[in-house]
Structure 1
Amino acid sequence: MRSGGLMGTAALALLAAPAWAQSASSGDGDSFLGGEWQPVDPAELEQMRGGFEMPSGLNVSFGIERAVYVNGDLVANTVLNIPDIAAITPEQAAQVADFNRGRVVQIGEGNVVMPAQMAGALVVQNTLDNQTITTLTRIDVAVDSVATLQAINFSNLISDALAGSVSP
């Protein structure tokens, strides 16, 4: 049930994206984000994401990056990008293994961690005062065809409506 809500939310966001992109790109060349923001070339983005192809033909690309900053300095960074799971390279397999191991960032003395209990987790331990700790998890997702996603979502919507009308 929860995945249906998540899929619906994702679908609504994707449906709104073309209108948002159009409004963001219109104007006098200065986007609503500010003049310092520049678009990234799609070919460069393709190399930064991983992905998969659904049986319907919909290609979904994704990338995950986790970073930890302490007092503005990057102290840990983990990146996972798998563009084609069927043709995974040894380097990409190493990325998956590293990502699944998790990451521990310890600031100060006397920190203790149980590695067996942290599979895939990011653990930040701090015993110092007045530290500015920032953790960022960035997930990049793209689909190659909003029309295909809309068709899949519409099909799911009809199936859910029919199932709801039959059940008490």
Structure 2
Amino acid sequence: MENRHGIIWGFLLILMGAFFLAINMYPNIFGTEFWPFIVIGVGAAFLLSALLTRTGGLAIPGCIVGGIGGILYYQTISGNWASWAYLWTLIPGFVGVGIILAGLLSRERVHFDTGGLILIAISFMGFIIFAGSFGLNLGMGMLWPLFLIGIGVITLISALFRKR
């Protein structure tokens, strides 16, 4: 199995090196809005490694780094750098998605980890609170009932998948 890991990592490193070489040789090939895709690409490399090696733990940093790259891309194309005041609250949700993927990709025992759903719910709640306070004009009256419904769904799923 170690040989397979080395082959996969070697292949990924060669691809990343070729990509960075192309950027150095042709600096304007992708334009000025492209730089966040480097961060997204690093996250994708972690996710691809997790998928190919069935090492679920690599999905967690892959989701975090890729998600932050997505935030940076949004901020780059919109110019809304002040949105970081509330977009940081999405990071626990990225961790939650990574935990769920890690459980599903685990080599030892494929499982669904409800802790990931809890982190996604916490992230959603933080986003609603901070985005409503610092940037987005959210109709909070409409969103709080949806948040309660979401928490109820997560609680129900957690109860159904809990070991007895």
- Normalising by structure 2, report the TM-score: 0.30
Structure number with the bigger relative contact order (C-alpha 8 A, sep ≥ 6) is 1
Higher helix share: 2
Q: TM-score, normalised by structure 1?
A: 0.30
Higher Cα Rg: structure 1 or 2? 1
Task: Answer 1 or 2: which has greater strand percent.
Answer: 1
